[in-house]
Amino acid sequence: AFALGGNLADCTRAGQTQGKLMSILGTSAGAYLSWIIGPDPFRVALCMLPLAALSLYSMHVSSQLVVLRSLNVQRAERVFHAMLYQLPPDARPAARTELTAPTPEQIAEVETFAQQYRSVFRTEMLLQPLIGGPPTGGWRLALPFARSVSSTVAFELLRASPAGACARDSDAWAATWHAGAAYAIAVHTPSARDAPEVLVWHSSTSTPLHKLQAVWHACVLRHALDGRRARPLDLGAAHARAMELWPAVLRSMESTDWLLGMVYLDGDGAYLEREDTAAPVRAPRADARAGDRELDE
């Protein structure tokens, strides 16, 4: 039977098995009926049309039946987007704020498979963008769509201090470490004309829950940036709001049967480390991948 509630690997395995089986059966039936249909292209096309329509309809029904409980970027964003709209704007959360997370079944109804996913947030999130420039050589083929951030900016912003801020030319950057240095978040606001960006880096020791928390944190900032209009964003209040709401978010997602240990939120794959308050930040370079670059305080 098709894996209705399994993860993507289970669904892929079941789909490939069924696809191969139907291919064998279809080839056998075609060989048996070929002497009836004959070589006329019109008659062949006439027979193929209903079969193609049936195949497409079956694929559509299968995609509607599949319910994935793991969390990738699309599912996580849709869950967090729905939860953020349950909160009054700019209100500080109570100690026991209760939120209701959409169920996997509800997300499956709106999840995009065939078409490219467009984020439900207007503010872009760069998840673990590469540091040091775009990929070169063979990495350009392996990572054709990877985003990158200047190493000068990244290292200056994300030093070992718990929080840092930097202004560079007309660009405005602000970055902070969170969850015991399990992840770092930077907000890039180039100018009033350009859209802001939220950048997230995990550490190499981050757990699945840390990665999920980092994306939640980024979504809170993006939600605030989406609705700020002309007034400046209070980043400190937005960071505090994200941290204070996280326990309620976690409780709600646990109660709706999401697999919180199965998250696929690694983005472009760059990691940042903060060992202690005097240690340098280490991050993989996008153009070398041969070792870590260190920057002394």
Q: State pLDDT tens for residues 166-196.
A: 434 445 778 888 998 899 898 888 766 677 8
Which ranges in the chain belong to alpha helices (H)? Answer: 8-37, 41-65, 73-84, 104-110, 138-142, 151-157, 208-226, 235-255
| pLDDT given at position 155 | 64
Residue 11 above 70 pLDDT?
Answer: no
Band of pLDDT at residue 1, cut at 50, 70 and 90 = very low
One domain for residues 168 and 209: yes
One domain for residues 26 and 97: no
145 in a structural domain:
yes
C-alpha of 15 from chain center: 24
One domain for residues 139 and 247: yes
Residue 260 above 70 pLDDT?
Answer: yes
pTM of the model: 0.71
| pLDDT given at position 25 | 80
The alpha carbon dihedral of 98, 66, 121, 217 has a sign of: positive
Q: What are phi and psi of 27, to 5 degrees?
A: -65, -40
Between these two residues, 37 and 156, which has the higher pLDDT value?
Answer: 37
One domain for residues 176 and 256: yes
One domain for residues 59 and 85: no
One domain for residues 179 and 269: yes
Which of these three, 37, 65, 93, is where a domain ends? 65
One domain for residues 119 and 195: yes
Residue 137 is encoded by which pair of tokens? 């050589």
Integer Cα distance of 286 and 223 in angstroms: 29
One domain for residues 173 and 53: no
Residue 211 above 60 pLDDT?
Answer: yes
pLDDT digits (tens, 9 = 90+) for 85-144: 998 765 555 545 678 999 999 998 888 776 788 999 999 999 988 877 655 555 444 444
Band of pLDDT at residue 147, cut at 50, 70 and 90 = low
77-82 mean pLDDT: 97
Query: How many domains in the chain?
Result: 2
128 in a structural domain:
yes
* Domain encompassing residue 51: 8-65
CA neighbours closer than 13 Å in the CB half-sphere of residue 203: 20
Integer Cα distance of 272 and 132 in angstroms: 13
